[in-house]
Amino acid sequence: MTTNDNSPPFDDSPHWDLDQLYVLGSEQLYRDLELIEKKRAAFVEKRERLIPGEGLDKEEFLAFLSDLEETSMMAERLGCFAALNFSQDTSDQKAQSFLASIDEKLALLDNSFLFLDLWFKQLPQETAQQMISHAPDYSYWLNRIRAFKDHTLSEAEEKIINLKNVTGSQALVKLYDTITNSYKFKTDFADVSPGKSVSREELMVYVRSHNPQERSGAYQELHRVFGQDGPVLGQIYQSLVRDWAIEEMTLRRYPSPQSARNKRNDLRQETVDSLLRVCRSKSSQVFGEYFKLKAKRLGLKTLRRYDLYAPLVEAPGSYSFSEGLGEVEAAFVDFDPKFASLALNVPKAKHLSALQKEGKQSGAFCASTVPKEIPWVLMNYNGRRQDMFTLAHELGHAVHSQLACGQNFFHFHSSLPLAETASTFAEMLLAKRLMDTAADAAHKEDLAFHILDDAYATVGRQAGFALFEVQAHDMISRGATADELSDAYLQNLAEQFGDSVQLSEEFRWEWVSIPHFFHSPFYVYAYSFGQLLVYSLWKIYLRQGADFVPKLTSLLSKGGSASPEDIIASAGLGPLDDDFWAGGFDVIQTLLPQVDQA
């Protein structure tokens, strides 16, 4: 580990080689676009062989599915390349234009395939089940298609929606990304290099600073910049929410805005209600107690919102990327060498972009293309311990994808509620590794607080976001302004923190800085779901040791081939009711005496 100075040693942070997918403007790219068009045209020609209400013989049905899967995988790779190319420089006009053109082409492709989807949904139940019996490897996906029968429109209407989304909701999301990724923040509050202009990722380093002035200054600057554009960003959000309501409720007849996401996640409304109900009742109690303990340990009467992620001791230095990756690798090896090997496939294949660059998308993600291809990971490495956890998280996603590579394309991608399982478990492995190798008692204590900080960030904070989303969609349906949404957001924070955390007025604009609200409505409860699930898995791991490894591997290898509740039941974790979620909070609560004694 290196010492702090004015030039953090992140020069070894890798940048991916997207040329392995395509080169923008290359002959190969346009040849593949032409090939997809030929496959699309050939597929459409077979439409006349589908008679409404009548099935196909086994060979012909499997041929339809094979052609659809092959073309879909080619389109997925192209779409992934366009998105990755844009993410590495969101200010690049060529990247913006190419992504928009690919989005339009993929929407047209989806429209061309609609006839098969609609034909299959309209089959009599007995005929549909006969078709499913012809293709057992695709049974879950085929049954899921049928599950949306009551929410599917006519072919003409579905085509219009696909096309209007390209220049409608998708364009608004890209506009939000372009605006917010161009933001620069001043570090007038910082001891080192005051007044420096930095990206959001660089700014957020300071929220975990040992210096309370730097923590408050970073948050104030973040919300000053977002707050300046708050009304504009709020208008983008309002338009996206109205678009969601028009499509999902008015046209598709879902009973509520959230139920559309629940259906796609293959979760019962009762399960999601149970999750959020327990999070709402338990978070203020469990995390409220923790925040009071942390305030005491920091020598504060009351914890400020600025201090939520404050370290107990000053960071010993910055981790170079190779050092951070080495710690993640060691943590994974301790669990299972195969787990580590799959994670290291990503940097070895040059599929990892960790280098901080001008215009690069903020945050982090893991993008899986198709089965048997190594996923792509983007993050912004700044040498913090938190960056190691982000690296572990995203490489955990990559492990999940590679374990699921035996699934067909339609069963490959995990559902949102299970998508955070491997990534969150990976963070737990890193936390255990760092606790076991901590240099002294002070740093071990600091890590214990860090684990609880992250428990709040993933469970309490994300559940709070989900509850706000429900309220925001309702308020916008009744004409709420951006200022009124900000007031509601601040009130939600006040209820969440109670008397355990002191809030400041600028946090009223925090909601416009949360990309998930704009990108994927009602996505965020998946984080709370995944974290509480992982706590249950972690309890089993601590009890069973090496015997647990094949059980987790089996769970992850299922990809999206069954419902989340069925996959969890197969792991022997029981029904997802209030007691299940409360059990996750019990694990969090067992850590409180440890930090209290410290």
Give the separation between CA 531 and CA 527, rounded to whole angstroms: 6
* Residue listed under structure tokens 């374990």: 403
539 near 554, Cβ under 8 Å?
Answer: no
How far CA 61 is from CA of 57, 65, 139, 140, 322, in Å, comes to 6, 6, 13, 16, 50
User: Is residue 139 domain-resident?
Assistant: yes
Give the separation between CA 465 and CA 452, rounded to whole angstroms: 18
- Which pLDDT belongs to residue 9? 45
- Phi, psi at 229, each rounded to 5°: -100, 10
288 near 391, Cβ under 8 Å?
Answer: no
Give the separation between CA 111 and CA 115, rounded to whole angstroms: 8
Which letter does DSSP use for residue 5 in this model? -
User: Is residue 593 domain-resident?
Assistant: no
Total count of domains within the chain: 1
Neighbours of 41 (CB within 10 A): 10
559 near 411, Cβ under 8 Å?
Answer: yes
pLDDT tens sequence across 60-99: 999 999 999 999 999 999 999 999 999 999 999 999 999 9
User: Is residue 96 domain-resident?
Assistant: yes
- Phi, psi at 47, each rounded to 5°: -60, -40
Bridge partner residues of 122 (DSSP): none
Give the separation between CA 196 and CA 309, rounded to whole angstroms: 23
Neighbours of 275 (CB within 10 A): 26
Q: What is the DSSP string of 214-269?
A: HHHHHHHHHHHHHHHTHHHHHHHHHHHHHHHIIIIIIIT--SSHHHHHHHHTT--H
Give the separation between CA 454 and CA 452, rounded to whole angstroms: 5
Residues with pLDDT less than 70, the chain: 1-11, 315-316, 594-598
447 near 433, Cβ under 8 Å?
Answer: no
Q: Which two tokens stand for residue 159?
A: 């085509």
Task: Find how far residue 510's CA is from the centre of its chain.
Answer: 18
Which letter does DSSP use for residue 456 in this model? I
User: Is residue 33 domain-resident?
Assistant: yes
User: Is residue 476 domain-resident?
Assistant: no
Which among 130, 160, 128 has a CA at the least distance from the CA of 145? 128
Give the separation between CA 126 and CA 135, rounded to whole angstroms: 15
Burial classification of residue 197, based on how many CB atoms lie within 10 Å of its CB (0-12 exposed, 13-18 middle, 19 or more buried): exposed
State the residue range of the domain holding 68. 18-167
User: Is residue 238 domain-resident?
Assistant: no
What is the radius of gyration, based on Cα positions, of the chain?
Answer: 24
For 62-91, b/e burial (b = at least 16 CB within 10 A) is bebbebbbebbbbbbbbbbbbbbbbbbbbe
Give the separation between CA 318 and CA 385, rounded to whole angstroms: 8
> Is the alpha carbon torsion for 121, 126, 129, 131 positive or negative?
negative
9 near 2, Cβ under 8 Å?
Answer: yes
Give the separation between CA 338 and CA 345, rounded to whole angstroms: 11
Q: Which helix (H) or strand (E) holds 391?
A: helix 385-403
Q: Which two tokens stand for residue 287?
A: 């995390």
288 near 497, Cβ under 8 Å?
Answer: yes
Q: Which two tokens stand for residue 30?
A: 């346009």
- Which pLDDT belongs to residue 6? 39
Give the separation between CA 117 and CA 464, rounded to whole angstroms: 36
Which among 375, 463, 416, 505 has a CA at the least distance from the CA of 83? 375
Burial classification of residue 516, based on how many CB atoms lie within 10 Å of its CB (0-12 exposed, 13-18 middle, 19 or more buried): middle
**pTM for this structure?**
0.87
User: Is residue 443 domain-resident?
Assistant: no
User: Is residue 31 domain-resident?
Assistant: yes
Strand 501-502 and strand 303-304: the pairing is: parallel
Amino acid at the residue 219: Y
- What is the distance between the terminal CA atoms of the chain, rounded to a whole angstrom? 25
- CB contact set of 213 (below 8 Å; sequence gap of 6+): 189
Which among 448, 451, 449, 394 has a CA at the least distance from the CA of 423? 394
CATH of the domain at 101: 1.20.140.70
